[in-house]
């Protein structure tokens, strides 16, 4: 089993990331730390102010879920675009237990402008207050709303992409499986960024490090337990953890990337290989010396800029 100490992780880091890596805070989800981390995220957004661009109309849309609850969608609509624009359903990360659409607002604005696409970010319900199936239900409701309202939004129903990061990528993968099974709206493309796919944590990379600046197996177990801990092992399925799906055929063309020093590395490699074996067109990148969500935590590093440009290029090609 490969195990890296904090010092070894730093030594293996890509040179572009080393300076900013030292500034990363420790992560902890014990006791009241979850609520503390959520509050810190909210305060960070409120303090610095959300990024904005006069060329993109940003607004909240509230829709009704199948269970009667209200769901907030945050929409980014370029002022100048074609009437038949692509639609991107974006699912944020946070281990199913934290995060908001606004924390990646700058990214949504850029993607809306550079791809001339309407971006819809889902403010799905978080565990443990709202465990499975709340989050995936919210994502499926958002996708159906996007499909039903595509003519009003000026979105092309044949050009829907589903994009997720970390736990959001796990939800995106589960959403594609669920949509296929239910014969729901057609998803033209899925983008799975360093996806959180498997609750079992059985691969070698799952135990890569205990460095608490990174997403570790301990944090992973806590997050999965909050999300699906109430479900017996024998009852867990791919709508909860997409790596459990036995049949990956007939899923959308896929793009995925991950850092070499991410505990989800092996899970992602296995999932990508299975997609290819199932006949799903798939492009996959491993960025050397990079950690989980590196392009989000350190967006100005040259390797992060490259990852973002690669991501944009893949979406542009898929939705053109």
Question: Count of CB atoms within 10 A of residue 47's CB?
Answer: 7
**Number of Cα atoms under 13 Å in the Cβ half of residue 103:** 20
Q: Cα(184)–Cα(88) distance, rounded to whole angstroms?
A: 16
Q: Cα(187)–Cα(165) distance, rounded to whole angstroms?
A: 17
The two structure tokens encoding residue 140: 């499926």
The single residue of 104, 141, 166, 176 carrying the catalytic annotation is 166
Residue 167 exposed, middle or buried by CB count within 10 Å (0-12, 13-18, 19+): buried
Question: Is 310 assigned a catalytic role?
Answer: no
Question: Is 292 assigned a catalytic role?
Answer: yes
The single residue of 262, 267, 296, 304 carrying the catalytic annotation is 262
Q: Cα(100)–Cα(271) distance, rounded to whole angstroms?
A: 26
Question: Is 130 assigned a catalytic role?
Answer: no
Q: What share of the chain is helix, strand, coil (3-state, %, to 5)?
A: 45, 20, 40
The single residue of 92, 130, 226, 292 carrying the catalytic annotation is 292
Dihedral of CA 183/184/189/192: which sign?
Answer: negative
CA 306 to chain centre: 18
Q: Cα(124)–Cα(143) distance, rounded to whole angstroms?
A: 12
Cβ contacts of residue 108 below 8 Å, gap of 6+? Answer: 74, 76, 90, 101, 119, 121
Q: Cis (ω within 30 of 0) for the bond into 133?
A: yes
Active site residues: 166, 262, 292
């Amino acid at each position: 089993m490969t195990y890296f100490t904090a010092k070894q992780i730093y030594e293996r880091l890509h040179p572009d990331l080393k300076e900013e890596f030292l500034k990363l805070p420790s992560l902890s989800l014990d006791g009241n730390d979850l609520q503390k981390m959520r509050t810190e995220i909210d305060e960070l957004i409120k303090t610095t102010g959300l990024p904005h661009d006069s060329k993109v109309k940003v607004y909240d849309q509230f829709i009704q879920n199948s269970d009667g609850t209200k769901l907030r969608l945050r929409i980014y609509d370029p002022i100048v675009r074609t009437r038949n624009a692509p639609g991107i359903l974006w699912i944020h990360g946070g281990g199913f237990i934290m995060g908001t659409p606004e924390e990646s607002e700058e990214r949504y604005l850029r993607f809306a402008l550079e791809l001339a696409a309407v971006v819809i970010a889902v403010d799905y319900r978080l565990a443990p207050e709202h465990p499975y199936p709340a989050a995936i239900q919210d994502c499926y409701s958002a996708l159906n709303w996007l499909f039903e309202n595509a003519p009003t939004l000026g979105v092309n129903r044949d050009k829907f992409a589903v994009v997720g990061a970390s736990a959001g990528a796990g939800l995106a993968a589960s959403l594609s499986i669920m949509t296929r099974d239910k014969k729901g709206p057609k998803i033209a493309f899925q983008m799975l960024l360093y996806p959180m796919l498997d609750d079992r944590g059985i691969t070698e990379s799952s135990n890569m490090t205990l460095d608490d600046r990174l997403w570790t197996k301990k944090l992973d177990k806590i997050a999965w337990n909050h999300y699906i801990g109430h479900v017996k092992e024998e009852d867990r399925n791919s709508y909860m953890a997409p790596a459990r799906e036995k049949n990956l055929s007939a899923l959308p063309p896929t793009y995925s990337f991950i850092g070499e020093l991410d505990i989800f590395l092996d899970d992602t490699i296995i999932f990508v290989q299975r997609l290819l074996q199932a006949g799903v067109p798939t492009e996959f990148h491993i960025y050397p010396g990079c950690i989980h969500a590196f392009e989000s935590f350190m967006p100005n590093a040259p390797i992060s800029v490259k990852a973002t440009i690669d991501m944009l290029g893949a979406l542009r090609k898929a939705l053109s």
